[in-house]
Chains A and B, each alone.
Chain A
Amino acid sequence: MKKTITIHIKGIPFNIEEEAYESLQRYLERLEQKLGRTQGSQEILEDIELRIAEILSENIQNELNQVVQQIHIDEVIKMMGEPEDYIDESTHTNESERVQNAETVYDKKLFRDMENASIAGVCAGLSQYFKVDLILIRVLFVLILLFGGFALPLYIILWIVIPKAQSHVDRLKMRGKPINFETVRDEVEAAAKKMADQGEKWSRNLHRETQFQRGMNALARVMRAVLGIVLLFVGISSFIGFLTIIVFQLNTFPVSDEMGMYNLYEFTELFYGHAVELSWAWIVGGILASLIVLFFIITGLKLIFNMNIKGNKYITRTAIVSAILFVILSFYMGTRLASQYTFQGEEERMLTFQADDLSIKVGTIDTINQRQGYEVRTKKQRRLWMEEKNGRLHHPVNRFRFEASPDSAFHLWIYTSSQGKSQKIAFQNARNIQFSAHLKDNQLFLADAFSFPKQDLFRGQDVEVTLQIPDGKSVNINGQPLSLTPKTEEIPMQQKKKTVYIDWEGDIEIYD
């Protein structure tokens, strides 16, 4: 039995004997070389391939196994004639056509190279595009796969996104050579040499499509469409999202004041104090948002409908210029904002006290009730990033640290820190932070939030609270007993630390 392979001619699948396939391939190659420099050569080639498919499908209908054999190809060639018999340059080209043809330049384009494919031709296509050795790219992919693992999704995405080189013109584009007298001559000479050198092996690899690759291509088409729909959905919903946030000034940001949540304008005001800078930030943000939306929608449409969306030169140039301007502007805005955070300032406050059975209450201290003793009210629903009250911004402290005291006294440490565009401002910002801690009898009240003046803006203000507990003293937090590991000789005192995380609900979890 002879080896057969499956090929597609103009979308019609054929089972063809290898020998017959090679002679068909050689015929098409000869034809392509002969047509090379004439106008409309691609179309002529396609028409002829179409006719060959028609003849073959008629002729194999009566065959038992419907396999294309050498005699069928011979028949086809006899009917169509040798390229030398019917293509001759005077048929098509007068001088002006030649000149026009010589100037046809194909831009380099990324295709999947099915000729040299091992899976879907992604690596082979990349190697053609970047003129890098195929082995090198494959090794790189495998290395990334072994060490990072994102090579697999990367490969699949590239598979979906990059079209495969189907026609002969695609292949020329893939190699990025302009089609003119010189390159076609080179091409023909190179092809002839190659044919002579390793004709057999070479032509066997051309156009071949295994069953596996065909299945995978169908799968890739489905995935393209699905990915396209997802992108389109994301694009449209983010467009609606951006529009509602900007146009309707929805109060959606996790910062609240007496009027409710912040809107986008109030939110960005926390970062940019200066009105001019704020408007620039808005412009950059707006462009960025539109670009994201456009990218998703266009890519989605392209994937779904396999569309080739091309703008004219004017639009392309405008887009490039505005992209460059945008990059410069956002770089400037980014560095301006980052400069506000370059210096770090810290302040340390310490309270030393004695107590027997200390009970600690953590919560929002309600100052109104201070005269009747400190009452701790824990706001259960608070899930906001910040709250504005009386011109101050309140930010939750969600981590309190408890550790062993170096002596026999309690020490409450409050570290405040902030950033700023100068050391002085960073210090000042840290100093402006308020954190409430009150000691009365054996009760310590700790606020679950700190505050800073709104005009300081958000500059990374933070507070860390540490309570050092002397050995042998018992302590409870919000009614829950806390015990540090008993002192042993082997472990130095300072290493015995427990960190208590208090989450938004006011519940306590204790970690070693």
Chain B
Amino acid sequence: MNAENTQSQMRKGILEFCILSILKEQEAYPSEIIEKLMDAKLIVVEGTLYPLLTRLKNMELLTYRWEESPSGPPRKYFRLTPAGELFLGELSRTWEELKNAVNKIAKNV
């Protein structure tokens, strides 16, 4: 197993967590989510987002509605479902635990 693969696996899990966190604040369409993720340097190319959004939607953690855009094609506005909020709560707890654990262990390395 090389580092690249591990990194991509780690990033993927964290990405889902981040997408859900962004949508917790307010509903958003893909470009807005992408902007925030790019600012945080979490993703490099936009394409990454779409499979994740579809996957989260199929898991019924997200839902969406269509809205006309003043320019260009209509937009899909995503938001959390109640199940999504529960899921995010659990992820947050896990994240806190992991962060503490990693900080503790990684410092000692």
Contact = CB atoms under 8 A, between A and B. Distances in A.
Q: On chain A, which size bracket covers the interface?
A: 20 to 34
B47 A87 contact: yes
Nearest to B44: A81
A44 B47 CA distance: 9
Interface in B35-77: 44-48, 50-55, 57-58, 69, 71-76
B51 A50 contact: no
Contact of A91 (B51, B71, B73): B51
A51 B34 CA distance: 11
B43 to A, nearest CB: 8
B52 A53 contact: no
Contact of B55 (A12, A40, A53): A40
B5 to A, nearest CB: 9
Given A80-B46, A86-B45, A54 B12 contact: no
13 contacts: A11-B73, A40-B57, A43-B57, A44-B51, A47-B53, A50-B75, A54-B69, A54-B75, A57-B71, A58-B72, A81-B45, A90-B9, A92-B51
B30 A51 contact: yes
Interface of B: 8-9, 12, 30-31, 44-48, 50-55, 57-58, 69, 71-76
B72 A12 contact: yes
Given A10-B73, A11-B73, A54-B72, A47 B48 contact: no
A506 interface: no
Contacts of B71: 57-58, 61
Contact of B50 (A48, A53, A78, A88): A48
A106 to B, nearest CB: 19
A47 B54 contact: yes
A53 B51 CA distance: 18
A57 B72 contact: yes
A39 B69 CA distance: 28
Contacts of A78: 45
Contact of A86 (B9, B31, B51, B54): B51
Nearest to A61: B71
A10 B68 CA distance: 13
The interface centre, meaning the residue of B12, B46, B53 with most chain A CB atoms within 10 A of its CB, is: B46
A80 B47 contact: yes
Contact of B58 (A40, A48, A54, A90): A40
Contacts of B53: 47
B45 A53 contact: no
B30 A47 contact: yes
Contact of A81 (B46, B72, B75): B46
A36 interface: no
Q: Is the interface of B mostly helix, strand, loop or mixed?
A: helix
A82 B45 CA distance: 8
A218 interface: no
Contacts of B54: 40, 43-44, 47
Contacts of A11: 73
Given A57-B72, A79-B45, 14 more contacts: A9-B73, A38-B51, A40-B54, A40-B58, A44-B50, A44-B54, A47-B50, A48-B50, A53-B73, A79-B46, A80-B47, A82-B45, A87-B47, A92-B55
Contacts of B8: 88
A85 interface: yes
Contacts of B48: 81, 85-86
Contacts of B58: 39-40
A81 B47 contact: yes
Interface string A42-79: 01100110110110011001000000000000000011
Contact of B47 (A61, A85, A92): A85
A487 B74 CA distance: 89
A236 B72 CA distance: 42
B36 to A, nearest CB: 15
Given A43-B54, A91-B55, A50 B47 contact: no
Contacts of A91: 12, 51-52, 55
Q: Which 6 A-B pairs have the closest CB atoms?
A: A81-B45, A86-B47, A57-B72, A86-B48, A40-B54, A80-B47
A256 B34 CA distance: 81
Contacts of A470: none
Nearest to A54: B72
